Chain A
């Protein structure tokens, strides 16, 4: 069940894959902005291929967690759920989205990103009915999803991003059917 389904209520959670790079920081910023606008729970997921040589699993988890906490702190995301996982990033992120029935998956990208490509291919090939839309955020994205980001999102009332005649009157309002 995708999250942007017609007739659905506001999305419950948004998963963002981060790995300590500048691209993933940009992605986290976009995901946080979107989660705020949609009143969704933000899950920051740090997925590493495996423990670095000579490093115990517990130490690797602690290192990744420290990186996640630092990122969440820098962006002021005190409410974000932090997850650490090891394995193939694309597979683990999709599994995480499926576990949480996430509305969106957000990842950063620089040019022809292998992770972004793998996620897009997975979205295209799954035929079991489950799917999650993927937002790929390029490095130095020139336009935030919600324009008010540039004027501090915190100043906005939750669930509203810009003046328009359309849209929900509250973030939990159910969207009309598209058919």
Chain B
């Protein structure tokens, strides 16, 4: 394979080169999020790049009141920590440098902002579809300013 010989004119406007630019991947504890994490780890391993797993929780509704709000929040944070720990364990098993972040807010917006702030070379998403309001993947694709990899659906477990 011959490498591209011509530099794109738009390169002048691009971010300064960062050899450690990570691959940012959204995980949510689902099988789709796990598929995204595995794809990101695989890509990071092949590119010798670090990977950052991001779990975005929407946060419980404030009208729940105490103590229900606090309990729901604690449960969401625990779910996020488990999803991130699973992904980190997998990355460490194959020797890929990895980090994890838990954020609060709208998933698509937070992922796009985080990728921009970290100078990510790529965003990785699962293909999960929502019944109403469109998928997070679609919104990320519409708003991202860097390549977005959307994985295929995970293979059903027989």
Contact = CB atoms under 8 A, between A and B. Distances in A.
Among A126, A136, A168, A177, max chain B CB count under 10 A is at A136
Interface in B100-124: 116, 119-122
Nearest to B10: A140
Nearest to B34: A178
Nearest to B92: A166
A146 to B, nearest CB: 6
Interface string B128-158: 1100000101100110111111111101100
Contacts of A77: 2, 4
B141 A113 contact: yes
A64 B1 CA distance: 23
Interface stretch (A44-52, A53-61, A82-90, A157-165): A157-165
A163 B142 contact: no
A178 B90 contact: yes
A141 interface: yes
Nearest to A176: B94
Contacts of A78: 2
* Main SS at interface, chain B: loop
A96 interface: no
B153 A161 contact: no
Interface in A1-33: 2, 4-6, 8, 10, 25-26, 29-30, 32-33
Interface in B14-50: 14-15, 17-21, 38-39, 41-50
A158 to B, nearest CB: 7
Interface residues of chain A: helix, strand, loop or mixed (majority): loop
B3 A133 contact: no
Contacts of B141: 109, 112-113, 116-117, 120, 136, 138
A42 interface: yes
A162 B50 CA distance: 10
A93 interface: no
Size bracket, chain A contacts: 35 or more
B66 interface: no
A143 B142 contact: no
Given A5-B42, A124-B128, A153 B4 contact: yes
Contacts of A32: 3-4
Contacts of B138: 112, 117, 120
Given A77-B2, A164-B49, 17 more contacts: A36-B1, A36-B3, A75-B5, A113-B141, A120-B141, A121-B129, A123-B127, A123-B150, A123-B153, A132-B152, A133-B39, A143-B21, A156-B3, A161-B49, A164-B50, A168-B46, A175-B46
Interface of B: 1-8, 10-11, 13-15, 17-21, 38-39, 41-50, 90, 93-97, 116, 119-122, 127-129, 135, 137-138, 141-142, 144-153, 155-156
Interface of A: 2, 4-6, 8, 10, 25-26, 29-30, 32-33, 35-42, 74-79, 104, 109, 111-113, 116-117, 120-121, 123-127, 129, 131-138, 140-154, 156, 158, 160-168, 175-178
